[in-house]
Amino acid sequence: MSGENKRAFDPLRFLTRLKRSLRKRALFRKFGQDWNTKTDAFQNRRYESYEAYLEHQKAKLETHNFGDYDTAFRSALRERLAALEVVWPGRSVLCLGARIGTEVKAFLDLGCFAIGIDLNPGEENRYVLPGDFHDLQFAPKSIDVVYTNSLDHAFDIDRIAKEVMKVLKPDGLFIVEAVQGKDQGVNPGFFESFFWKNIDELIRVFEGAGCQVSRRTGIKDPWPGEAICFQPS
């Protein structure tokens, strides 16, 4: 390869990648891959405390380079949402576990009033507020649509289900995008804290909390799984 085709060495980029790598190694030594299988349906990562869970989840932003994810996922999600039989303009939308705000932007593209929450939204994030989906800070029955693709980062899935039902309007819509489960040969990654045998088991959690499925659709981006639309029953 000629020198002209080689990427020039960027010391700042190198140090950033090194810092991420060292931080992730330290986190791995601390949290490892210790999982607790409470039932055949679900498994949970073991944490010494809720504070340890928060530390682990907050660290994802500082150890990942989201790169082209923002543009690619924004487009894919916008197309999926536009295909639903929903009049989007003016709807209030809350995105749970929204990280850098990509899903929020997709809803904004469709004319919604949208905001996200995350344990660590980073600095100067216009789209995402600090928040915990186990304890939502919004008024009861105030949100038209709740969206998440982050349920595999849950500490207590039943608590999250209750919080969603608390803030969702009686005629609201809850959209879950979930990766395929263990039955399909998928295994959780390092930052996942909760995982399921299959998506049917995950659906049963929200049916038990007072939701009914109105639509299920297969998805490919950002991973193979399903988009499930729930409505309060």
In a domain, 22, yes or no: no
pLDDT of residue 115: 98
**Bond preceding residue 11 cis, omega within 30 of 0:** no
- Is the pLDDT at 162 greater than 60? The verdict is yes
Mean pLDDT, all residues of the chain: 89
Task: Please answer whether residues 103 and 77 qualify as being in contact, where contact means their C-beta atoms are separated by less than 8 angstroms.
Answer: yes
In a domain, 27, yes or no: no
In a domain, 8, yes or no: no
In a domain, 21, yes or no: no
In a domain, 13, yes or no: no
Mean pLDDT of the 88-104 span: 97
Tell me the DSSP string of 197-209: S-HHHHHHHHHHT
pTM over 0.75: yes
Q: What is the CATH number of the domain that holds 74?
A: 3.40.50.150
In a domain, 20, yes or no: no
The angle formed by the CA atoms of residues 196, 169 and 192, to the nearest 5 degrees, is 20
pLDDT of residue 22: 54
Range of the domain at 174: 32-232
Mean pLDDT of the 53-82 span: 86
pLDDT of residue 4: 47
Give the H or E element holding residue 167. helix 157-167
pLDDT of residue 34: 80
Mean pLDDT of the 66-77 span: 86
In a domain, 124, yes or no: yes
Which range has the worst mean pLDDT, 60-64, 74-78, 156-160, 227-231?
60-64
In a domain, 5, yes or no: no
Closest CA to 101 of 85, 118, 82, 113: 118
pLDDT digits (tens, 9 = 90+) for 40-65: 999 999 999 999 999 999 988 776 66
Q: How far is CA 165 from CA 48, 69, 113, 131, 189, in A?
A: 28, 29, 19, 17, 28
Tally the domains of the chain: 1
- Is the pLDDT at 6 greater than 70? The verdict is no
